[in-house]
Structure 1
Amino acid sequence: MPLTDTAIRNAKPREDGKPDKLADGGSLFLWVMPNGAKYWRMSYRFNGKQKTLACGVYPDTSLKEAREKREAARKLLQAGTDPGEEKKQQKREKKLAAENSFEIISREWYTKELPRWSEGHAKRVIESLEADAFPDLGKYPIDSLTAPIILECIRKIEKRGAIETGQRVLQRIGAVMRYAIQTGRAAHNVTADLVGVLRAPKVEHRPALARSELKEFYRRLAAEPIYQPTRIAMHLLMLTFVRPGELRHARWEEFDMERAEWRIPAERMKMREAHIVPLSSQALELLQQLRPLTGRGALLFPAMTDHDRPMSENTLSYAMGRMGYKGQATPHGFRALASTVLNEEGFNADVIERQLAHAERNKIRAAYHRAEYLEERRKMMQWWADFLQNHQIDGITVR
């Protein structure tokens, strides 16, 4: 006779201390153990071998649920699949999914990046992920995350008015996804599918290159017949991501080659605040190439007809137009490119903003902001220079 819930509930261990086997039919039975534990089992044959499938523990697995598992196992057998091996495979996949969860990989990425971050930035990164990403995304296998799932997570941050926080969390999720791709645990960075979906403060955007277009840009730049100081100016603008006007008016006296620094006075900065640009080894090499060409005058990039005046504000724009980038990218857009890539790669957003010389809203912080994060900025600028150099066939030399 088939088992009933009452019979199972009232079943007691045998007095002789041996397990008691209660059959339900269809090869499903219940072991009542000497200690009172009750285990669901199903016997079956596969490839001529007698086997047993564990179907749960009573009462966590009810009679109804045990029968459902029996029927599922029967269907597998009819399809030529061993239900025992199928169960083992599911366990392996579940274990692998847990090991490759978003939270696990995020913490792995965090540990890898930790040596190049300041203590304060590292604290902000992990706390933002723990507060705003792990609760919704943490348990997902990283390769199962979709754009809608991530968007729902970010929308929660936006709803509380923390728009910039939402953007930073999304950038960090994207950095984790790229790390997962690099380590072979994901195939696609779905955060790229969210470009343009999130709310953002209204800012003036200028056309900018995408990181995927860098190699083609450098190829065109190398092929274009450009006045040599102008070519060097284009490279320096990319390496330093200053505003084009700040580069055009650059003076030799502002450069300290031994300290590898370019100190731009406040009167030439948009925010009227002196600015330090750490110089990478590639930038220093370009300056050495430029010195014999324009070093006799005060300006790095004088006009061709009047060395006391800087080159025209349109010189670099016209050069990019001749290279085929009219309406697609501008010299000022190199700042946006640098900001995007550095944020995507997990650099401290405050360090990036400081190097971009954006306005500091907090007047107290602004008082000492000029040299803030200087050592981190040096490392970041060298990383950026190496990143750009890796996209050039012949390296940074532009002789």
Structure 2
Amino acid sequence: MLTDAAIRNAKPGPKTQKLFDSGGLYLEVAPAGGKWWRLKYRHTGKEKRISLGVYPTVSLKDARERRDDARKLLAQGVDPSKARQEQKAEATAETLTFEKVARDWYERFKPKWSASHALDIIQRLEKNIFPQLGSHPIREITAPELLAAIRLIEGRGAVESARRVLQMCGQVFRYAIATGQASHDIASDLRGSLPPARERHHASITDPKAIGELLRAIDGYRGSFVALCALRLAPLVFVRPGELRHVEWSEIDLDKAEWRIPAEKMKMREQHIVPLSRQAVAILWELHPLTGSGKYVFPSVRTSTRPMSENTVLAALRRMGYTKDEMTGHGFRSMASTLLNEMGWNRDAIERQLAHAERNAVRAAYNFAEFLPERRRMMQAWADYLDNLKEGTDTIPLRRATGD
């Protein structure tokens, strides 16, 4: 049997040495000087070995106690190695909380999302789910527990938000399943637990006469010149409000009459080309002396290093007397989509200009410039049509031109 003195005095040799104690316990001395406790045993007729720790952190007395514990398991027909693996798995499962897995999922997929979308996701989880379930082991969360957290959101009257958060939780659970951290998506068990979403429409003006009145009201706006230019440009480009306020001078080529929005700024993460009509180019040239030396076309009133507030255009519409049920910043998109379709323009060209999702992923990879010649004609014809409406001319709806 080993003694503490024998262990301390054991010197490393050219090969690994084994100093035996009793009951299968031995000390392994490596050529580099390290000393490891090992236990040799037999289970179901097979010889096996497990590590019991490193000397001197684990003393001779400690090693013998660990050997005895392992022998007790063997007497019960339990493999000490398998029992240890199960203990580690249980300990790991306790540390795999919903919040940890959710943040891992978020960090992995965040590069594929726009900055605003990524921020929206993490804020919703931090506000609505982490306080309720964040510290729970993800494997132990039940469907009723998740539903209770979702019901709290619904109870605030935010039904659509509740649905979106439930979808996010489902993505987290599916990620956990794929990475071996969970075995079931309990969010899928909650299908039908929330009332159906009401179809949401952005308030928009589509009557030609009312559009003319709106355009004249914009020209008469008495707010800041930057906000005025944003208002005048919005109906000509009909991009999403966030894309408009974040536009940078480096993205615009006034000579080519073109605005190229980088993929990272787009909802669908694809570069988007906005042909600029003569009217749009004129607005930008007029604004250039004021903001052209900075980064943003429409900078914040407080600092040129940030874009204008997301509420700037909306607030301007309210100051002009348009309520939320009449017109929104998003409404310029609905306005253009409705009328251009009525006028007979190619529906695919309209959808491409609106930067709506391409269902065919292969096509989406290369067709960001699809229908571009026709879109250029369409954008100029649309700007001319708006000019006629602003002048009060009851024009015949423009028709789609043919050919390239």
Shorter-chain TM-score: which interval?
0.3 to 0.5
Tell me which structure has the larger Cα radius of gyration.
2
TM-score after normalising by structure 2:
0.47
TM-score by length of 1: 0.47
